[in-house]
Amino acid sequence: MDTFQRLYRLFAYDTWANRETLASLNRAGTPPVRSLRWMGHIIAAEWLWLGRLKQERSPIAVWPDLALADCDTHLTDLQRHWQDYLHGLAPDALAQRIAYTNTQGESWANTVEDILLHIVMHSTYHRGQIAADLRPAGQTPAYTDFIHAIRRGFVE
CATH tag for 3-151 (out of 1.10.1740.10, 1.10.10.10, 3.30.565.10, 1.20.120.450): 1.20.120.450
The answer to whether 97 and 109 have CB atoms below 8 angstroms apart is: yes
User: Which pLDDT does position 156 carry in this prediction?
Assistant: 87
Helices (H) and strands (E) in the chain, counts: 5, 2
pTM above 0.85, yes or no: yes
Give me the sign of the Cα torsion angle 80, 86, 87, 90: positive
3-state DSSP of 56-121: CCCCCCCCCCCCHHHHHHHHHHHHHHHHHHHHCCCCCHHHCEEEEECCCCCEEEEEHHHHHHHHHH
pLDDT tens digits, one per residue of 8-41: 999 999 999 999 999 999 997 899 999 999 999 9
Contacts of 26 (CB under 8 A, 6+ apart): 68
Percent of the chain with pLDDT over 70: 100
The answer to whether 64 and 72 have CB atoms below 8 angstroms apart is: no
User: Which pLDDT does position 13 carry in this prediction?
Assistant: 98
User: Which pLDDT does position 91 carry in this prediction?
Assistant: 84
> Residue 151: pLDDT above 80?
yes
